[in-house]
C-alpha cells in the first residue's frame, strides 16, 4: 500500500493544534490531581486510602481502554473517535469539578479516563496519517511537548489552584479547552479512511480488559501492601494468566484487537524497549523530586511546581529541535546523546544531601529534562514510523500497542521503584541509627542538642526528649535522601541499559539518508 498521505481539505497544522489540545489535557490529568489530594480528602469527607482511588481509577481505566484504541480507530475513524473521546473527557472533567462525595468523583474520574485514554493514540494516528514521512520527526517533536511537558506542568497548575482558589478548578480548567477543541474539530478535522470491519474481537477485548486491569491494579497496590500481600499476588496472577490467553487469542485472530505481530518489526520492538525503560526513568524524577522538595526542603505545592517548571520548558524547547534533527540524522545519534546525558545527570542525583542547594538541584533537573527531550520522542517516532512506512493504515494499531506497553512498563516501574526506595530508606535509617554508639559523633550531637535545650530552661527529661525528637527527624530526613539516592542509582543503571539498546537500532556509522534513496520510505525505517 502506498504511504502517500491522505489529501486534506483542511490545514494539517490546524488539525495538529486540535489534537494537541486534547492530548495535553489528557496527559495533564495524570499528574494534576496529586497535589490536590489532601484538600479533596477534607472537602469530600473521606480518608487517605480511599481518596487514592481518584488517581487509581483514572489510571486503571486508561490502561484498559488504550488497547481497544487501535480497533476503535480502524472501525470508527480517527475523527469520530477523537470527537467522542473529547466529549467524554470534557464532560467527565466538568462533572469531577461538581462532585459532591467520594463515589461521585471516582465515577466521574473513570468517565474522564475513558476519554483521556483514547485521546493520545488518536492524536498519534492523525499525525502519522496526515503528514508525509519526511516531516514526521519535526511534527512528533512538537507532539512530544505535550507528552513530556504536561506531567511537569501539572503540579504547578494544581498548586496554584489549591493555594489560591479551589481544587475543583483543576478539573474545570479542561472544560473551555475541550469546548474550543470540539468546535474546531467538527469542521476542520479530515475524515480519514478506515480499514476495519465492524466485527469486534470479543475474546481479545475480554482477556485484555481483565489482564491489564488486574496487572495495573496489582502494581498500583504494591507500594501500600507489598509484593507478598494476597491482594497483590492474586491480582498479578489473574493479570498474567489473562494476558497469556490474550496473546494466544490475538495471534490466532484474523482481525485482532491489538496487532501483536507489529513486534516482528525490528526497529519498532527495539524502540519500545528503550521507551519503556525511559518511562520508568522519567517517573523517578517526576515522583521523587516533589517529595524531596516538600518533605526535606519544606517547599509548598506551588513553589514545588515553580521549581520544576524550567525543566519542563527546556524539554518543550528541545523537543521540536530533536524532531528536526531526527528527520536529518535519524534516531540513533539523538538517542545515544540524550540517554548519555540522562545517565550522567541521573548519576549526579545520587550524591544529594539534605543540605544540597536549590540551584544545584534545579540545574541537574533541567539537564535531565533536556536529555529526555533529546532522546524520548525520536526513539518513539523511529519505531512507529518503521511500521507506518510499510502500511499507513497500521498507524492506529502501532499507537495503541505503543501506549499499552508504556502503561504497563510505567505501572511496573512505579511499583518496583516505590517499593525499592521504601526498603532502602528503612535500611539506611537502621544504618544511621546504629552509629549512635558511646563516644561516636552522633552521640556527641545528641549531647550537644540536649545541652542546648537545657540552656533554654528545660528540665533534663524535657531537654533529652526534645533533643531525641530533633535527632530522629534529622535521621529520618537523611535516611529518606539516602534511599532516594539509591533509587536514582537504579535509574542510572536503567539509562545505561537503554543506551546500550539504542546501539542496535541502526548499524553503526550508517545514517538514514544513506540507507535509502526512496523519499517515500521513512528516515527511521529499519
Rounded mean pLDDT, 159-173: 87
> Which residue did the predictor score with more confidence, 2 or 356?
356
Residues 337 and 490 sit within 8 Å (Cβ to Cβ): no
> CA 112, CA 86: separation in Å to the nearest integer?
9
Residues 29 and 174 sit within 8 Å (Cβ to Cβ): yes
Q: Which of 160-164, 201-205, 460-464 has the lowest mean pLDDT?
A: 460-464
> CA 200, CA 36: separation in Å to the nearest integer?
39
> CA 300, CA 290: separation in Å to the nearest integer?
10
Q: Distances from the Cα of 514 to the Cαs of 135, 378, 420, in angstroms?
A: 18, 18, 45
| Cell numbers representing residue 21 in the block | 489540545
Q: Which of 101-115, 147-161, 392-406, 461-475 has the highest mean pLDDT?
A: 101-115
Q: What is the pTM of this model?
A: 0.79
> pLDDT grade, residue 516 (50/70/90)?
very low
| Cell numbers representing residue 105 in the block | 468523583
pLDDT for 508 equals 34
> CA 80, CA 240: separation in Å to the nearest integer?
33
> pLDDT grade, residue 197 (50/70/90)?
low
Per-residue pLDDT tens over the stretch 90-109: 999 999 999 999 999 999 99
> CA 231, CA 431: separation in Å to the nearest integer?
31
> CA 70, CA 77: separation in Å to the nearest integer?
10
Per-residue pLDDT tens over the stretch 15-67: 999 999 999 888 888 778 877 877 888 888 887 778 878 888 888 888 889 88
> Which residue did the predictor score with more confidence, 280 or 148?
280
Q: Which of 143-152, 163-172, 310-319, 388-397 has the highest mean pLDDT?
A: 163-172
Residues with Cβ < 8 Å from 488, sequence gap 6 or more?
284, 288, 346, 347, 349, 350, 352
pLDDT for 9 equals 66
User: Measured in whole angstroms, how far is the alpha carbon of residue 430 from the centre of its chain?
Assistant: 33
Residues 393 and 255 sit within 8 Å (Cβ to Cβ): no
Q: Which of 267-271, 367-371, 468-472 has the lowest mean pLDDT?
A: 468-472
Residues 353 and 485 sit within 8 Å (Cβ to Cβ): no
Burial of 298 (0-12, 13-18, 19+ CB in 10 A): exposed
Nearest Cα to 304, choosing from 323, 319, 290? 290
Nearest Cα to 148, choosing from 426, 418, 380? 380
Amino acid at each position: 500500500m502506498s504511504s502517500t498521505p491522505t489529501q486534506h481539505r483542511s490545514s494539517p497544522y490546524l488539525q495538529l493544534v486540535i489534537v494537541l489540545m486534547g492530548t495535553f489535557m489528557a496527559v495533564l490529568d495524570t499528574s494534576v490531581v496529586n497535589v490536590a489530594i489532601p484538600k479533596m480528602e477534607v472537602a469530600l469527607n473521606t480518608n487517605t486510602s480511599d481518596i487514592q482511588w481518584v488517581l487509581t481509577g483514572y489510571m486503571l481505566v486508561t490502561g484498559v481502554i488504550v488497547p481497544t484504541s487501535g480497533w476503535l480507530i480502524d472501525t470508527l475513524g480517527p475523527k469520530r473517535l477523537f470527537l467522542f473521546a473529547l466529549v467524554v473527557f470534557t464532560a467527565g472533567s466538568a462533572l469531577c469539578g461538581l462532585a459532591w462525595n467520594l463515589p461521585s468523583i471516582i465515577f466521574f474520574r473513570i468517565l474522564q479516563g475513558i476519554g483521556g485514554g483514547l485521546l493520545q493514540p488518536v492524536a498519534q494516528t492523525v499525525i502519522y496519517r496526515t503528514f508525509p514521512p519526511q516531516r514526521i520527526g519535526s511534527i512528533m517533536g512538537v507532539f512530544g511537548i505535550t507528552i513530556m511537558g504536561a506531567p511537569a506542568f501539572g503540579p504547578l497548575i494544581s498548586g496554584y489552584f489549591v493555594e489560591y482558589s479551589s481544587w475543583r478548578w483543576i478539573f474545570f480548567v479542561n472544560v473551555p479547552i475541550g469546548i474550543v477543541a470540539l468546535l474546531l474539530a467538527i469542521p476542520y478535522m479530515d475524515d480519514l479512511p478506515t480499514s476495519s470491519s465492524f466485527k469486534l474481537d470479543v475474546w481479545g477485548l475480554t482477556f485484555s480488559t481483565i489482564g491489564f486491569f488486574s496487572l495495573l491494579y496489582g502494581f498500583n497496590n504494591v507500594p501500600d501492601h507489598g509484593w507478598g500481600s494476597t491482594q497483590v499476588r492474586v491480582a498479578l496472577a489473574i493479570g498474567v494468566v489473562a494476558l497469556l490467553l490474550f496473546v494466544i487469542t490475538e495471534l490466532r485472530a484474523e482481525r485482532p484487537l491489538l496487532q501483536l505481530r507489529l513486534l516482528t518489526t525490528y526497529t519498532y520492538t527495539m524502540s519500545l524497549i528503550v521507551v519503556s525503560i525511559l518511562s520508568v526513568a522519567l517517573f523517578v524524577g517526576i515522583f521523587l523530586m516533589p517529595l524531596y522538595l516538600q518533605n526535606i526542603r519544606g517547599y509548598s505545592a506551588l513553589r514545588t511546581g515553580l521549581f520544576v517548571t524550567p525543566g519542563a520548558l527546556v524539554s518543550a524547547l528541545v523537543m521540536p529541535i530533536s524532531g528536526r534533527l531526527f528527520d536529518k540524522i535519524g534516531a540513533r545519534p539523538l538517542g545515544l546523546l540524550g540517554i548519555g546525558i540522562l545517565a550522567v545527570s541521573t548519576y549526579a542525583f545520587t550524591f544529594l544531601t539534605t543540605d544540597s542547594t536549590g540551584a544545584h538541584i534545579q540545574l541537574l533537573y533541567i539537564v535531565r529534562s533536556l536529555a529526555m527531550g533529546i532522546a524520548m520522542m525520536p526513539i518513539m517516532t523511529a519505531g512507529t514510523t518503521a511500521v507506518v512506512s510499510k502500511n499507513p493504515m497500521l498507524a492506529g494499531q502501532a499507537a495503541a500497542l505503543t501506549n499499552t506497553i508504556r502503561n504497563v512498563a510505567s505501572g511496573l516501574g512505579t511499583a518496583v521503584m516505590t517499593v525499592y526506595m521504601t526498603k532502602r530508606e528503612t535500611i539506611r535509617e537502621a544504618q544511621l541509627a546504629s552509629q549512635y554508639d558511646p563516644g561516636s559523633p552522633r552521640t556527641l550531637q545528641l549531647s550537644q542538642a540536649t545541652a542546648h535545650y537545657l540552656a533554654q530552661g528545660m528540665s533534663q527529661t524535657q531537654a533529652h526528649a526534645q533533643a531525641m525528637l530533633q535527632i530522629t527527624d534529622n535521621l529520618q530526613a537523611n535516611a529518606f535522601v539516602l534511599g532516594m539516592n539509591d533509587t536514582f542509582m537504579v535509574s542510572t543503571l536503567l539509562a545505561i541499559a537503554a543506551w546500550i539498546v539504542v546501539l542496535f537500532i541502526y548499524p553503526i556509522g550508517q545514517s538514514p539518508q544513506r540507507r535509502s534513496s526512496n523519499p517515500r520510505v521513512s528516515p527511521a525505517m529499519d
